[in-house]
């Protein structure tokens, strides 16, 4: 037969485990805070600004530079400058960059750069790498969306 003291200890341990389980899972139904390094935007000013047909965003890309990879093959690197020349701020725009072969005009690689917000007069500069063939000549084509 189990002693009365042993029963009290078992019941006490079970109660403690139950309380600990409730305490640990109490916050599981709420939304967790953002992780370090991420941004949560909740104010209304981040709504996408519709882009007019004559958008005042200028994009320029330097001629791509060939980079030889240790494992073989090549990447091409370019510096891209985005400038808001207009009088309004733009939100949630995208810059599509295509690595285009010079002779045929075929697209070899594409990169998309999201820009959360660019105020009037602001300039953003990015370095972008593309995958390409070592024996080809390329140029970069940019499009604002």
Q: Which CATH superfamily is domain 48-144 in?
A: Immunoglobulins (2.60.40.10)
Mean pLDDT of 58-79: 94
Cα 64–116–126 angle (5° rounding)? 20
Name the residue ranges covered by the structural domains of the chain. Answer: 1-29, 48-144
Give how far the C-alpha of residue 138 lies from the chain's centroid of Cα atoms, to the nearest Å. Answer: 26
Element (DSSP H or E) covering residue 79? strand 74-84
Cα 71–73–76 angle (5° rounding)? 120
For 93-140, what is each residue's pLDDT tens digit? 999 999 999 878 899 999 999 999 999 999 999 999 999 999 999 999
Mean pLDDT of 22-27: 42
For 79-92, what is each residue's pLDDT tens digit? 999 999 989 999 99
């Amino acid at each position: 037969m189990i002693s009365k003291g042993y029963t009290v200890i078992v019941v006490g341990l079970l109660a403690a485990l139950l309380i600990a389980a409730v305490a640990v899972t109490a916050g599981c139904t709420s939304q967790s805070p953002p992780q370090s390094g991420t941004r949560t935007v909740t104010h209304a000013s981040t709504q996408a600004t519709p882009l007019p047909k004559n958008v005042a965003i200028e994009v320029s890309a330097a001629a791509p530079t060939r980079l030889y990879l240790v494992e073989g093959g090549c990447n091409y690197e370019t510096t891209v400058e985005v400038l808001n020349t207009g009088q309004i701020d733009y939100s949630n725009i995208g810059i599509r960059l295509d690595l285009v072969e010079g002779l045929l005009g075929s697209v070899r690689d594409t990169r998309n750069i999201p820009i959360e917000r660019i105020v009037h007069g602001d300039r953003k500069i990015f370095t972008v790498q593309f995958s390409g063939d070592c024996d080809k000549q390329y140029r970069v084509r940019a499009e604002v969306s």
